Amino acid sequence: MEITIISAQGLKNSSLFSQHIKPFITLTTTPPPSSCHVYTTTVDHEGGVNPTWGDKFDLSNIINASFFYNKSSYIYLQVYTYRYFLLGPRLLGWCGIPASDIVDGFSPVGTVRRLSYRLRKKDGSRGNGVVNVVVKLESSIFQGQRRVDSDVADMRFGRVAVGIPVRSPAGGW
């Protein structure tokens, strides 16, 4: 899976010491603060509250098909502003991209999907700003799932229909 961090809009600068923010984004598949594989965009020194990046990350080494079938799987994005001196980065907001948002509507594999998410404050309440990303799935992620589907097709049960049973007009089944 490839994810591209495109841009953010409407970030809020709440610093009293600096008139200009220098945002960057961290990306991980485990909830902060216990993140093991953390990817980081470059710092946008010019965009201010509406930064752009275009940084691409290949997540195929940490994401497999089971990630997409688990309802609690997320990709976490945290937006920070770079600060000089000993202050360190300051969190501007975060969002979680559910795995279901990534796989819903993907056909065929290799399709590119653009997603946007509102940022949250550290406490989870509604924050300021929106993050825009582009996601592209590779066929290798679902290789195992396709094999299972072809095995089911070879059983020769005919066409399978999924739905809600309908009563016959006579009221019986």
Enumerate the domain spans of the chain.
2-153
Predicted pLDDT at 69: 81
Predicted pLDDT at 30: 84
Domain made up of 2-153: CATH architecture = Sandwich (2.60)
- Please give the order of strands across the beta sheet that includes 74-81: 39-40, 23-28, 74-81, 90-98, 112-120, 126-136, 2-9, 52-58
Predicted pLDDT at 35: 62
Q: Report the C-alpha gap between 51 and 47 in whole angstroms.
A: 4
> 22 and 43 in contact (C-beta within 8 Å)?
yes
Q: What is the pTM of this model?
A: 0.75
Q: Report the C-alpha gap between 75 and 155 in whole angstroms.
A: 37
Predicted pLDDT at 139: 65
Q: Where are the alpha helices (DSSP H) in the chain?
A: 65-69, 99-103, 143-153
Question: Could you tell me the two tokens for 101?
Answer: 């948002």
Per-residue pLDDT of the chain (173 residues; tens, 9 = 90+): 899 999 999 998 876 566 689 999 999 988 776 667 899 999 999 999 999 999 999 998 888 888 888 888 999 999 999 887 767 899 999 999 998 888 776 666 777 889 999 999 988 899 899 999 999 987 656 554 443 343 433 333 344 444 454 454 555 54
Q: Report the C-alpha gap between 156 and 47 in whole angstroms.
A: 58
Closest to 90 measured CA to CA, from 29, 34, 26, 37: 26
